[in-house]
Amino acid sequence: MKQTPGKRSLEGLTVFPYVAWLLVGSFAWFVYTLNAQVITLTEELEQAQLEKNALQSESDIISGQHETNQPS
Taking the C-alpha atoms of residue 71 and residue 68, their distance in angstroms, rounded to an integer, is 9
The answer to whether 5 and 12 have CB atoms below 8 angstroms apart is yes
pTM (2 decimals)?
0.60
Mean pLDDT of 16-40: 97
Q: What is the reported pLDDT for 10?
A: 83
User: How is the chain split into domains, by residue range?
Assistant: 31-55
Name the band, by pLDDT with cuts 50, 70 and 90, for residue 12. Answer: confident
Please give the average per-residue pLDDT across 59-68, as a whole number.
Answer: 68
**pLDDT score, position 38:** 98
